[in-house]
Amino acid sequence: MLPVGLGLSRRLFQREVAPRLGDLPVAAGLVGEGSDCFGFDDEVSRDHDWGPALCLWRRREDPAAPLEAILAELPPTFEGFPVRATPGRTGVLETGAFYRRFTGLERPPETAAEWLAIPEHALAACTNGEVFADPPGAFTAHRAALLAHYPGPVRLHKLAACLEAAAQSGQYNLPRALRRGDAVAAALARAAFLRHAMGAAYLLARRYRPFSKWMHRALPDRDLAGELEAIARGDDARVEAAAARLIGSLRGLTASRDTFLLAHARELRRGLDRALLALNPGLEG
């Protein structure tokens, strides 16, 4: 069963829009920012910018007017909910401009520098949701290139950076701050460990991590998610268990038996090109 917002939007497309499209060359779906695009909408989500909505992605050479006319005829409500129209996020959108808004490019990235310049949460946002139909195929082709995830060396560069940051914050700084009784430094180190441990888990699963408010909820490794929740609730002794789980997921990537995540980060880096290592891995905090 589709999540609430996506399900509403799919039915809106099937009943009210698809019969009117004929042979117009357009892709339709719901992708982008918003809890509904990630499938996490709930009662809290309905306080703003929520409801059945559609994106109609056209190629640059195809006119927008026929599509805008179809959307203008939509009913004001659908299945009891106001039909949402958020300029720039829903409605008629040009495919290249849609992706450029998130990635800065109207084509899939081609170089390591281009990949690393894109915030990971932006990659998550422009590859989430669902494409309901795409006869021309241009939108889906671009989406598929992004969903294929980072090129191997880029992924390892980012993974090494996450592991190093997790080691520094959780395995080194956190226990030292706790021994000093520095609650603020400990809170900062704990939060950094949570973020970077999750960043590593997403990379290991070849998934893009979303904004922080959805990062834990969407975490692919649910056992790790449980360890991290315990840490967030104050059980700092679980840091080493979380680190051990990450190390266990590195099988085939590192051979070290060290329990310190930094050793694994260094091993990953040894096989990477110096030009790549000179690029900012983009940890986003």
Taking only the tens place, the pLDDT of each residue in 201-228 is 999 999 999 999 999 999 999 999 999 9
Q: Average pLDDT of 71-95?
A: 95
Distances (CA, A) of 119 to 33, 115, 196: 14, 9, 15
Predicted pLDDT of residue 205? 98
CA–chain centroid gap for 215, Å, is 8
Q: What confidence tier does 153 reach under pLDDT thresholds 50, 70, 90?
A: very high
User: Does position 69 have pLDDT exceeding 60, yes or no?
Assistant: yes
Closest listed residue to residue 157, CA positions, set 262, 248, 285, 265: 265
DSSP letters for 17-63: IHHHHTT--EEEEE-SSSHHHHT---TGGGGSS-SS--EEEE-TTS-
Closest listed residue to residue 120, CA positions, set 152, 168, 165, 155: 155
Give the Cα separation of 113 and 276 in Å (integer): 8
Q: For residues 16 and 75, is the Cβ–Cβ distance under 8 A?
A: yes
Q: pLDDT over 70 for what percent of the chain?
A: 99
Window from 84-93, 121-130, 176-185, 188-197 with minimum mean pLDDT: 84-93
If 0-12 CB within 10 Å is exposed, 13-18 middle and 19+ buried, where does residue 226 land? middle
Averaged pLDDT score across all residues of the chain: 95
pTM summary value: 0.94
Q: For residues 35 and 53, is the Cβ–Cβ distance under 8 A?
A: no
Q: For residues 238 and 223, is the Cβ–Cβ distance under 8 A?
A: no
Residues 6+ apart with CB under 8 A from 174: 186, 189, 190, 193, 236, 239
Q: Are strands 77-78 and 55-58 parallel, antiparallel or unpaired?
A: unpaired
Residues in the chain: 285
Count of C-beta atoms within a 10 Å radius of residue 209: 25
User: Does position 41 have pLDDT exceeding 90, yes or no?
Assistant: no
Q: What confidence tier does 50 reach under pLDDT thresholds 50, 70, 90?
A: confident
Predicted pLDDT of residue 42? 81
Predicted pLDDT of residue 44? 84
Write out the H or E segment, with its range, that includes residue 12.
helix 4-12
3-state secondary structure of 121: helix
Residue 235 in tokens? 């059980």
Give the Cα separation of 36 and 19 in Å (integer): 24
User: Does position 1 have pLDDT exceeding 50, yes or no?
Assistant: no
Residues 6+ apart with CB under 8 A from 122: 102, 103
Predicted pLDDT of residue 285? 61
Q: Average pLDDT of 112-126?
A: 98
Q: For residues 163 and 245, is the Cβ–Cβ distance under 8 A?
A: no
Predicted pLDDT of residue 102? 98
Give the Cα separation of 199 and 178 in Å (integer): 24
Tens digit of each residue's pLDDT (9 = 90 or more) over 157-174:
999 999 999 999 999 999
